């Protein structure tokens, strides 16, 4: 079990249990030691790209927050497949993760955005550009349920993929500003070639630990080979952290990347107004650090699962 997971468990019991003074003191001493160990450990840990508001209220308590770093504002509603997954906190909904529209009732996102959450606390905003300004083009979908890949691993973030199902009364109306994204055909090689330029978009932070962006941003970044990505992230205890079901993009010289709040959003290509999703924002070391590419769930690896679980 990781130090972060252990500390999370202890935090929960420290504040929720009524303990004797001696027990409380001993537990806090152990907690202090674990915090020191966690921060002294080699900084090559898996960092889900979730906003700080989610991390502080959820299970990823010691992991810093993420957004599009070095990106530019997109033309409003030029990416009609984008959604903002928002969580209710103190009667206010705030951006939590990104996602993409697969159909009027199904949204594609990252599993770590939904791990052990109550779907009634979330909503989906489609057709949005500026999250701080309401628009007539926006549509609100409520979560009926969701399904995560059965082999999702919250420690390694393997199989970091999930589908959201909207309630029948709030399914999306497909329009010019709300449209599904395309998926790669089954004949496409699992690994897009290194050097291929792809786009990542989201409302995440523009720096590690920064504020969520009001407007939708995007950046173009190159695909990085699995070998080069594994070389960047390999550590003493895991020489192969980038699995077959993952892909990487970005890296040297740094300065451009997905970041906190971009989790669940798409890595995609476009051709004459047609969009194809290749990856899902998943994890990385910090945001936009030189020599550390962002790591994405590889959509083509999960086409059979998506087609089996997807609703019309």
CA separation for the pair 114, 73 (Å, rounded): 27
112 is catalytic: yes
83 pairs with which residues across the strands? 99, 126
Q: Looking at 95, 112, 149, 278, which residue is catalytic?
A: 112
CA separation for the pair 29, 20 (Å, rounded): 14
CA separation for the pair 270, 180 (Å, rounded): 13
Angle at 72 between CA 48 and CA 67, to 5 degrees: 15
135 is catalytic: no
Spell out the residues 6+ positions from residue 148 whose beta carbon is closer than 8 angstroms to its own.
111, 114, 115, 161, 162
Q: Looking at 95, 96, 129, 160, which residue is catalytic?
A: 160
115 is catalytic: no
- Pair 183, 303: CB distance under 8 Å: yes
CA separation for the pair 236, 42 (Å, rounded): 9
Q: Around 33, how many Cα atoms within 13 Å sit in the side-chain half-sphere? A: 6
Q: Looking at 263, 278, 282, 300, which residue is catalytic?
A: 263
DSSP one-letter code for 77: T
- Give the residue numbers marked as catalytic: 112, 160, 263
């Amino acid at each position: 079990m990781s130090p972060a997971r252990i500390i999370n468990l202890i935090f929960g019991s420290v504040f929720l249990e009524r303990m004797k003074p001696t027990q409380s003191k001993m537990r806090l001493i152990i907690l202090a030691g674990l915090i020191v160990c966690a921060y002294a450990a080699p900084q090559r840990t898996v960092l889900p790209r979730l906003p700080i508001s989610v991390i502080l209220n959820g299970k990823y308590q010691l992991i810093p927050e993420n957004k599009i770093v070095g990106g530019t504002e997109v033309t409003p509603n030029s990416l009609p497949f984008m959604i903002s997954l928002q969580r209710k906190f103190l009667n206010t909904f705030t951006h939590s993760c990104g996602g993409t529209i697969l159909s009027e009732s199904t949204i594609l996102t990252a599993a770590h955005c939904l791990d052990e959450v109550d779907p009634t606390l979330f909503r989906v905003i489609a057709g949005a550009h500026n999250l701080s300004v309401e628009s007539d083009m926006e549509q609100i979908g409520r979560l009926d349920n969701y399904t995560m890949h059965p082999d999702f691993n919250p420690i390694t973030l393997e199989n970091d993929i999930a589908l959201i199902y909207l309630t029948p009364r709030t399914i999306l109306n497909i329009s010019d500003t709300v449209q599904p994204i395309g998926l790669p055909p089954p004949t496409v090689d699992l690994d897009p070639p290194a050097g291929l330029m792809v786009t990542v978009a989201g409302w995440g932070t523009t720096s590690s630990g920064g504020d969520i962006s009001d407007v939708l941003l995007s950046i173009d970044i190159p695909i990085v080979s699995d070998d080069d990505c594994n070389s960047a992230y390999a550590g003493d205890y895991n020489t192969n952290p980038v699995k077959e079901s993952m892909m990487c993009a970005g890296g040297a010289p740094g300065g451009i990347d997905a970041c906190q709040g971009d989790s669940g959003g798409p890595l995609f290509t476009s051709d004459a107004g047609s969009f194809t999703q290749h990856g899902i924002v998943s994890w990385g070391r910090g945001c936009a650090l030189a020599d550390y590419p962002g790591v994405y769930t590889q959509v083509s690896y999960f086409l059979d699962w998506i087609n089996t679980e997807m609703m019309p």
